C-alpha cells in the first residue's frame, strides 16, 4: 500500500481521506517509510515530528469527515524558516540550532485548521539567503535528478521532498524566487501568490509585500488544493486578504479561456542559458495549439536590479542586524553582506527604490491587462554543482553579487504579480527546466487555469515521484 499511496496525487489522496478509504495514519506510515529509504541521499527533511503528527491525526479522526477541513488529514512539511509549536525550528542558523518555539506561525495554524498534519521541517539555507539549500546546522540538500547538483533554494528541501515522494504538498516561501527556483530545479510546481493571499506572522517589517508564503506540489491541481488550504485573512497580518469565495482548485480545473499570452526569454534584465531559453520558448509557444495568440513581449522592468537590491538589503538589516551584532562570526558571508548593505542605505536610496517599485507595478498591471499571461524561464540556468554556493556567471556575463542571477524571478516579485514555476522540459543532460507563468496581481485563478491547460499539453507525468539519481 505504501508505494501506491506515494505515487498518487494530493487531490486523489484527499478524496480517499474524505471517503475514509485511507486514514491519516496510513499516510504518515507511508511517509515515514519513504523518508527512511530516500532522504539519506538528498537531505531534504532534517527534522521529523511524526509523534506530534500522529497525536493530531488521532484527534482529527474523532471529528466527522466533513469537519476535518480542506486537507482532511493530509500531511504537510513546513519550511524551516517558519515556527511550529514544539518542533525544532532553526532557520538554518547555528544561532538557533536548538530553538523550539512555544507557538506556531499564523500560516501553520491556518494549515492545521484545514486538517493539515505537520510531520517534518524542510531544509532551507540560513535565513533563506541564497538560492542554494545548504547550512551549517544540517549540511547540503541535493537535487534528486542528479545528486551532485543543487536543488536551488530557499525552499529546496520542500521541492526535493515532493520530487522524491516524501510529500504530497509542501509549504514554501518566496522573496526573490525561493519557491520558483527550487521548483524549476526539481521538476515540480511552485506558486508565489500575490502578497496577502496567505496570512503569516509578520517579521520586523509588518507591511512587507516582497516576501510571501505559498504552496508547492507535483501538479498544478495539487498546488491549487494547497493554496485553498493556506488562504485567508488574519488581523495580526496587516496585508492579509480575506477569502473571497474562490476555489482555486475549481479554477485550475475550470479551463478559463486564454486568448493572448506573451513570452520573454530574459525580461530585458538578465542573461539566460541558451538551452534553458529554448526549452522554455518551445513550451510557451505550445499555447498556440489551443488557439491562443503567443507573442514575444514583456513590460518595462528595467529598474529591477537597483530596486530589489535596496529593498532586500533593507529587509535583511531590519531582520538580522541585531544578530550580526550579538553573534559575530555566526552568520554566513552572504547574509553579512546583505545586512551591512542595508545598514548603509540612506533614506534617498529607499525612496528611489520604492518609486521604482511603484512604476514597475504600474507597468506590469498595464501589460497584464492586455495579455492574459506572461511567460519566462523560471531560472536562467539548469541545476549547477551543489558545492557551488551560487551562480557567478551565465552566457558570458559575470555577476556582481550572489543574487544577480535571480533577476528573472525577483523582477516579478517586485510587481506583486502571482507567478508559478511549471515543469516544461529537460536539458540534454536530463535535468528539469521550469517555465515561469505570471498573471495580473491577485489573478491566481486565471494563472492556475492557464498553467493547468499548458501542463496537459506538456504531459510530463510529474505526479510520479522519482528515486534519487547519483551524479558525478
Backbone dihedral angles phi then psi of residue 244, each to the nearest 5 degrees: -110, 15
Distance between CA atoms of residues 408 and 304, nearest Å = 9
Distances (CA, A) of 152 to 118, 160, 389, 457: 23, 10, 10, 26
Distance between CA atoms of residues 406 and 352, nearest Å = 21
User: Which residue in 154, 240, 264, 421 is the catalytic one?
Assistant: 154
Q: Which residues contact 153 (CB under 8 A, 6 or more apart)?
A: 124, 125, 128, 130, 131, 132, 133, 141, 178, 181, 182
User: Which residue in 9, 104, 178, 449 is the catalytic one?
Assistant: 178
Assess whether 341 carries a catalytic annotation: no
User: Which residue in 9, 79, 122, 240 is the catalytic one?
Assistant: 79
List, as one string, the DSSP characters of 247-293.
-HHHHHHH-----EEEE-SSTTT----HHHHHHHHHHHHGGGGGT-E
Assess whether 4 carries a catalytic annotation: no
Q: Which residues contact 315 (CB under 8 A, 6 or more apart)?
A: 175, 203, 205, 208, 210, 211, 342
Question: Please, are residues 184 and 316 in contact by the beta-carbon 8 Å criterion?
Answer: no
Distance between CA atoms of residues 453 and 465, nearest Å = 21
Considering only CA atoms, which of 177, 181, 148 is closest in space to residue 388? Answer: 148
Considering only CA atoms, which of 273, 467, 262, 266 is closest in space to residue 382? Answer: 273
Residues identified as active-site? 79, 154, 178
Amino acid at each position: 500500500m505504501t508505494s501506491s499511496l506515494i505515487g498518487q496525487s494530493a487531490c486523489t489522496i484527499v478524496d480517499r481521506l474524505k471517503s475514509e478509504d485511507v486514514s491519516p495514519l496510513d499516510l504518515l506510515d507511508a511517509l515515514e517509510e519513504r523518508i527512511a529509504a530516500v532522504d539519506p541521499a538528498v537531505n531534504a527533511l532534517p527534522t521529523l515530528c511524526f509523534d506530534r503528527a500522529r497525536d493530531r491525526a488521532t484527534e482529527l479522526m474523532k471529528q466527522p469527515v466533513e469537519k476535518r477541513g480542506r486537507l482532511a488529514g493530509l500531511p504537510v512539511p513546513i519550511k524551516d524558516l517558519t515556527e511550529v509549536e514544539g518542533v525544532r525550528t532553526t532557520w538554518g542558523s547555528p544561532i538557533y540550532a536548538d530553538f523550539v518555539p512555544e507557538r506556531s506561525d499564523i500560516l501553520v495554524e491556518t494549515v492545521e485548521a484545514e486538517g493539515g498534519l505537520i510531520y517534518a521541517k524542510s531544509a532551507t539555507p540560513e535565513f533563506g539567503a541564497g538560492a542554494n539549500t545548504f547550512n551549517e546546522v544540517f549540511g547540503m540538500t541535493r537535487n534528486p535528478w542528479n545528486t551532485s547538483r543543487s536543488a536551488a533554494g530557499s525552499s529546496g528541501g520542500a521541492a526535493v521532498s515532493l520530487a522524491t515522494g516524501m510529500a504530497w504538498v509542501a509549504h514554501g516561501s518566496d522573496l526573490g524566487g525561493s519557491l520558483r527556483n527550487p521548483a524549476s530545479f526539481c521538476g515540480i510546481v511552485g506558486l508565489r501568490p500575490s502578497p496577502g493571499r496567505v496570512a503569516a506572522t509578520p517579521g520586523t517589517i509588518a507591511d512587507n509585500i516582497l516576501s510571501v508564503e505559498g504552496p508547492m506540489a507535483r501538479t498544478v491541481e495539487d498546488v491549487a488544493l494547497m493554496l485553498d488550504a493556506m488562504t485567508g485573512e488574519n488581523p495580526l497580518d496587516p496585508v492579509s486578504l480575506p477569502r473571497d469565495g474562490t476555489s482555486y482548485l475549481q479554477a485550475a480545473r475550470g479551463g478559463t479561456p486564454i486568448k493572448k499570452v506573451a513570452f520573454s526569454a530574459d525580461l530585458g534584465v538578465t542573461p539566460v542559458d541558451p538551452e534553458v531559453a529554448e526549452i522554455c520558448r518551445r513550451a510557451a509557444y505550445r499555447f498556440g495549439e489551443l488557439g491562443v495568440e503567443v507573442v514575444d513581449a514583456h513590460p518595462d522592468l528595467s529598474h529591477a536590479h537597483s530596486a530589489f537590491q535596496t529593498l532586500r538589503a533593507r529587509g535583511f538589516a531590519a531582520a538580522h542586524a541585531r544578530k550580526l551584532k550579538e553573534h559575530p562570526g555566526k552568520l554566513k558571508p552572504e547574509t553579512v553582506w546583505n545586512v551591512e548593505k542595508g545598514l548603509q542605505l540612506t533614506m534617498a536610496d529607499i525612496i528611489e527604490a520604492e518609486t521604482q517599485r511603484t512604476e514597475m507595478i504600474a507597468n506590469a498591471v498595464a501589460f497584464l491587462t492586455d495579455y492574459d499571461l506572461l511567460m519566462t524561464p523560471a531560472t536562467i540556468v539548469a541545476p549547477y554543482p551543489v558545492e557551488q554556493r551560487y551562480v557567478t556567471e551565465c552566457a558570458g556575463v559575470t555577476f556582481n553579487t550572489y543574487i544577480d542571477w535571480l533577476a528573472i524571478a525577483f523582477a516579478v516579485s517586485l510587481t506583486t504579480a502571482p507567478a508559478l514555476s511549471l515543469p516544461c522540459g529537460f536539458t540534454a543532460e536530463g535535468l528539469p527546466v521550469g517555465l515561469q507563468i505570471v498573471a495580473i496581481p491577485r489573478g491566481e485563478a486565471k494563472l492556475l487555469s492557464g498553467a493547468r491547460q499548458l501542463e496537459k499539453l506538456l504531459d510530463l507525468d510529474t505526479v510520479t515521484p522519482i528515486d534519487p539519481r547519483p551524479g558525478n
